[in-house]
Structure 1
Amino acid sequence: MCTPEIVRLARDAVPRPTRRALLGLAGLTAVAAVAPAPAAAAPRTSGVLDLTHTLRPGLPVWPGNPPMAMVPVARHAAGGFGQYALGYWEHTGTHIDAPAHRIPDGASTEALAVEDLVAPLVVIDISDKATDDPDAMVTVADLDSWRARHGDIPGGAFVAMHSGWERHLATPSAFLNLDERGLPHAPGFAAETVEYLVAQYGIVGAGVDTLSLDSGADPGFGAHTALLGSGRYGVEMLAGLAAVPAVGATVVVGAPKHAGGTGGPCRVLALT
């Protein structure tokens, strides 16, 4: 995926940082090892939960995507300031899916309505069935069970799936869970569940603690199409959902804002 020239430019940037390093961001995966060691999500403080994985080289990415990379291009010892050149594809780490990710004429990142980025947070826990079935889906029956315990789903909510898949994060191969065809298998939303949430509750978005809104059992990406096709957004690879109440919290999605973007890494907070 990287030409020898791009790899050379990235390597040259480490001992002798120049503007050429910035031109080679697409190939910075060759020097991912310079990044800091993995760090856990920030602990809960003052009613604020961080639902964001630390973006770092080595974090699992969708099959075929390069890992995030960091290259130092400025050092305190030479000029008084530190700075990294970052290289990553938009859908890396905890990230947002804008409608444009799936829909050719869908809204891009800068066009997302800011009022939709702050919403009541609903967490649907399917961790029990996901333990036995890696292709488990959030179904309408799961919503019925949730409502029997917690009451109705608030209108305009952000609905997140807690599958417990985060337990595999330290082993990227287990987190991806590829089959013999190279296709990943992990829990997600059923397409009809997303359609129901949009039609009945006008949700602003949906999130998952896996790499995809779709279960591995749906190779047609029905949940993506239903959610993004309705003008809503998704957030993938959420962290720490086990600590969030099923209802009553507010989510704040710090979405990126680059022109024409299909998505990008974001900082997601739950206010409890």
Structure 2
Amino acid sequence: MRVIDLSVPVEPSPSEPVPVEIDFVSHADGADILGKPAGLDRTAFPNQMAVSLEHVRLTSHTGTHVDAPAHYGPICAGERARTIDELPLEWFVGPGVLLDLDTGSEDVVSVAEVEAELQRIGHQLSPGDIVLINTGADARWGSPSYFTDFRGVGRDATAYLVERGVKVIGIDSFGFDAPFHRMLRDYTEGGGPAALWPAHLYGREREYCQIERLTNLTGIGRSTGFTVVCLPVKLAGAGAGWCRAVAIVDEQDCP
């Protein structure tokens, strides 16, 4: 069995517009903290050390994460939109389908591209498939351009996948829609409100989740025949949860 890591690290990075802050508490400082209630300091511990820890400040959308319906709006299909802790775990473990759409285009992924790629790989979507979209955007991780230079997925392509039973769609870019500056351009050029986060807001009509900031999708080495595990952290009442997304390939099936 091969397990392929599809997650970016949670770390201070120029690619994260909201700074990640990590304060490291050393083993020696940990001894002072743990011993303080009993009037002890680090000298009471073996080698003057206890256990370390970290204090982390970040958003629920930092790093590789899963967006829940509640992120897109308060209502989904006429009901209260579910938060990340309320969704079935079965959604986040399933057969993977990798669509290679690293074409160099700056346009959002279209229905025609999705259909053509599915035909190329010879796959018909089934309910429960977890679709991963490779656009090559993860190559920019670690630079400010990761936040601004990527394709995104169009509303129609999102609807195409969800209407065929796909509950989870992942992409290797900062966001699922087009970058904000392109959406703002479309808005000011007459697109109106429909130009702003159209794929996200489709989630007010039908339940689905999106994984943002995947990486290493080409490392899977196949379009189908693998399992995706992308269980989100159980953040009560939250619109998203961090995940360590992986692809699992049975070695017996490896070429």
Runs of 4+ in 1 over 6 A off after TM superposition: none
Q: 1:71 to 1:228 in 2, by over 3 A?
A: farther
Q: For 1:189, which of 153, 172, 175 is the aligned residue?
A: 153
In structure 2, runs of 5+ residues without a counterpart are 32-49, 75-79, 184-194, 250-255
Structure-1 residue corresponding to 2:96:
121
Structure 2 equivalent of residue 138 of structure 1: 109
Secondary structure of 1:213's counterpart equals: coil
**Deviations along 1:164-205, whole A, 9 cap, x unmatched?**
011111322x2122xxxxxxx521111011111111x21011
In 2, Cα distance between equivalents of 1:112 and 1:102: 15
- Are 1:215 and 2:178 counterparts? yes
1:91 and 2:61 matched? yes
Q: 1:162 to 1:228 in 2, by over 3 A?
A: farther
Give the stretch that moved more between structures: 109-118 or 163-172: 163-172
Distance 2:15 2:172 in 1: 12
* Residue matched to 2:224: 247
Distance 1:251 1:229 in 2: 25
Provide the C-alpha distance between the structure 1 equivalents of 2:21 and 2:4, rounded to a whole number of angstroms: 26
Could you tell me how far 1:264 is from its partner in structure 2?
Answer: 2.5
SS in 1 for 2:245: strand
Distance (Å, rounded) in 2 between the aligned partners of 1:123 and 1:195: 17
Q: Post-superposition shift, 1:137?
A: 2.0
1:158 and 2:130 are equivalent in the alignment: yes
- Residue 139 of structure 2 corresponds to 167
- Which residue pairs with 1:49 in the alignment? 4
The size of the alignment, in residue pairs, is 210
Q: In the alignment, is residue 265 of structure 1 matched against residue 242 of structure 2?
A: yes
Greater Cα shift, 226-235 or 112-121: 226-235
With over 3 angstroms needed to count, the CA separation of the structure-2 counterparts of 1:228 and 1:127, relative to structure 1, is: farther
**Alpha-carbon contact 1:165-1:210 (below 8 Å) kept:** yes
2:169 partner letter? A
Q: How does 1:3-14 map onto structure 2 within 5 Å? A: none
**Post-superposition shift, 1:59?**
5.2
Cα distance in 2 for partners of 1:67, 1:259 equals 23
Q: Distance in 1 between matches of 2:115 and 2:236?
A: 39
1:228 to partner: Cα distance? 5.7
Q: CA deviation at 1:153?
A: 2.2
Contact map agreement 1:194 1:223 (CA 8 A) in 2: yes
Partner of residue 20, structure 1: none
Quote the Cα distance in structure 2 between the aligned partners of 1:221 and 1:250: 29
TM-score (norm 1): 0.73
Identify which range, 237-246 or 208-217, moves more after superposition.
Answer: 208-217
Structure number with bigger Rg: 2
TM-score in terms of structure 2 length: 0.77
Match of 2:45 in 1: none
CA drift of 1:67 comes to 1.3
Aligned to 1:206: 169
Q: Which residue of 2 aligns with 1:67?
A: 19
Distance in 2 of aligned mates of 1:51 and 1:194 = 21
Q: Which amino acid aligns with 1:209?
A: D
Q: State the partner residue of 2:42.
A: none
The C-alpha deviation readout for 1:131-185, integer Å capped at 9, x for no partner, is: 2x33x2221111221222222123321112100011111322x2122xxxxxxx5
Whether contact under 8 Å (1:194, 1:227) holds in the other structure is: no
C-alpha deviations, 1:4-57, integer Å up to 9, x for none?
xxxxxxxxxxxxxxxxxxxxxxxxxxxxxxxxxxxxxxxxxx411110011101
Unaligned segments of structure 1, at least 5 residues = 1-45, 178-184
- 2:126 and 2:165 in contact (8 A); partners too: no
Counterpart contact for 2:89–2:231, Cα < 8 Å: no
**Does the CA contact (< 8 Å) of 2:3 and 2:246 recur in 1?**
yes
- Separation (CA, whole Å) in 2 of partners of 1:237 and 1:103: 21
The separation in 1 between residues aligned to 2:140 and 2:23, in whole angstroms, is 27
